[in-house]
Structure 1
């Protein structure tokens, strides 16, 4: 196992004036054994960053270290990493056992050790009964576990996951998230996990990098990112539904965007007057969408309440009050958090 250090990592495609820079100076210290999630929308550079750690993309500038070694110029096979991709990339003509053992056979690991490693990984992933099956005889979730097993038997210093759950349905995604958490607890191997799904990020990460346009907007624990977002982008991206970001809110200093999460708005006798446009019932909770017109602003505000709360009628007017200790302030020009807020 090993730590990972990213020092001013930059990626450009092309050269000179025509160069397109897609990663803008990422810096991060990842401790030995940490599980880090790189999260952001499509095209933000998260997979490119992962592929640079893996050695599948060249680094334009900066430095990447795995443990004490600078790996900028090392081939992927020399970096002691194992990667799990979105597509399972299993050999269809091979059994599960042979798929998991293939890399070890190429490395000329003794057969007894290969069997021991494969059996141990199969037990951890609960795929022991399937070792003699072909991939076509497995479900999507089982195939993904085989792909993870193939990485485990390598006994690498670092695991790299590139959106490995994207091809699974919602139920299997949730189940596989639990399996990945269990796997990390048992093996303790340093891991980088790329996803565009903020639920995966919040549930899996010990710390997360939130990427936007090739820039790392925030690096922190899920609690830090959710409770103290560094920018309006992070505030709007992390959370479902997203944080309400309101311009020219009453009581706010000039050039300030006020942020408040839907669960931190309380329906009250007075306060911000909203005209109800839609109500969504989501089992144990309810989302109410209200139009707020104040001054020159016309904004949609989302309120999250428990299911037991009486539903507002469409077209009616309700009043809400933000909880004073849950209000966030951001600079309207830069989108960055102002330090004097929660």
Structure 2
């Protein structure tokens, strides 16, 4: 059966209705907050999903979390977790050298590595992970998928980590050849936050590999105007972006940013924002993501840690 974009989108009905989910014994955010978040989401002609959770208390706020959204390059964070899991298991080594042939560097896809080294060369696994996550290189992404056994390995790892609501089924090249497949590689905002929280709490990687990935994400060179866009310099944002294809009609399939924000007082917040099928411009979508992060960090008043 052929999967069409309209069919896939119809299977992902997303309602932009705010829901505040709070763990027992924790106070809910002030009632006025719902109007603020709804206004931000409704300012776009798009489907918007956002979830945030304070990692010390578990207090959450979310909107549009009933649906799954196309992740696009956000899934490179999950891929990195699976690669580093194999490093922890001794199956791979961060210093091992991987030879890349020129024909492996496809020319019709986003690939900073190809631009710098069109003839390929020898690269450490550490460098390939950095380029994949920090620069969102599609060629190195698919090379890493091949190294660990494909997308099925990542999906198996997600199950092992107890994470549901995330699907990693297709590579970057497969999505490039069939744009409809980007809707299958999907996640609910709260599911991504659950994965971010498990990562931060050291439940997935050893301390060394965990720190390595954290530093890469904190140095992410993409999406400077998304989660980080309206935050002061003293906020640390370890994140991964994702951007979808644009249709001939100008509809952008995905504008995403997910990550962990470290507040000046040291508290951490996992935030995932997904914008799907936007008829508005990329800058407009990024402005909403930045405004949501700003509101979460400076106006939301979750309970203090005990």
TM range (shorter): 0.3 to 0.5
More strand as a share of residues: 1
Which of structures 1 and 2 has the bigger CA Rg?
A: 1
Q: TM-score, normalised by structure 2?
A: 0.33
> Greater RCO between the two (CA within 8 Å, min separation 6)?
2
